[in-house]
Amino acid sequence: MQNNAQSYVQNNVVSMHSPVASLLSGVVKKELAQLFIVQSDNGVLAAKQAASCLLVPEVDDKVLINMIDGEVYILAILEKASQRSKLSLKGDVTFESEGCLSMTSKKAMQITSLESISHLSPEVSALSKRHTITTETLSTNSQKLDVKSDQAQAHIKEVHGMFERVYQKADQVIRWVETIETLNIGNWVHNIKGTLNSRANNQVITAKSDVKVDAERIHMG
């Protein structure tokens, strides 16, 4: 009975192989395709960048190396040889935070995409001393647009607008039209509190039915 039990245990025990892993440091001497040549205490090694090592190793960086199952990996950058760092991630990447996420740079910050950049948020705020937008096509869709500015200046070659209603209120309006101004209006009503002064070298008033001039005094000539 005892022999049967021992035989049962031996048949159901799976031996576990624990590979020997070693950690050592080294200095990157050269970068090849997908490999880094590292000088270590064990000699010159060809190492791969581990997926957990987000910083890309560069020449003269001091790195932490792991040797396991005949493979050599750079696990981390211990010391940077320069003030330049590069993060390299393969495939799609998602940053997720349950709290606030903040990015701060004391110098310039640049975001570049070869395809598209999308913003999705209930509220977006931008604050800058100078804002420049250069684009081939600009499209804006908004249910309500509110613009406030002390001074606005626009240089446009051609403007096309379609409005259901236009309301304007201004203290003073000054307009220069160099050649021709054309108005196509159903009914045109002017309510002027003060004086209406119209001057022209030649003036033509044409009506299909009636022309009415009503005033207490009319001066002609």
Chain CA centroid to CA 130, Å? 16
Q: Is 75:84 a contact under the CB 8 Å cutoff?
A: no
Determine the residue type at 129.
K
Collapse the DSSP code of 31 into the 3-class scheme (helix H, G, I; strand E, B; otherwise coil) and give the result: strand
Q: What is the pLDDT of residue 35?
A: 93
- Owner of token pair 């200046």: 153
What's the whole-model pTM score?
A: 0.58
Q: What is the pLDDT of residue 33?
A: 84
**How many angstroms separate the CA atoms of 29 and 43, rounded?**
12
Strands 43-49 and 22-32: unpaired
Cα distances (Å, whole numbers) of residue 77 to 27, 58, 63, 212: 10, 9, 5, 91
Q: Is 190:196 a contact under the CB 8 Å cutoff?
A: yes
Q: What is the pLDDT of residue 21?
A: 59
What phi and psi values does residue 160 have, to the nearest 5 degrees?
-125, 130
**Check: CATH 3.20.20.70 for 20-89?**
no
Q: What is the pLDDT of residue 219?
A: 87
- Owner of token pair 């960048």: 49
Q: What is the pLDDT of residue 40?
A: 92
Q: Is 50:15 a contact under the CB 8 Å cutoff?
A: no
Residue ranges covered by each domain of the chain: 20-89
Q: Which two tokens stand for residue 164?
A: 């259901």
Q: Which residues of the chain have pLDDT under 50?
A: 2, 5-10, 13-18
Q: What is the pLDDT of residue 220?
A: 83
CA angle (54 as vertex; 48, 58 as ends), nearest 5:
60
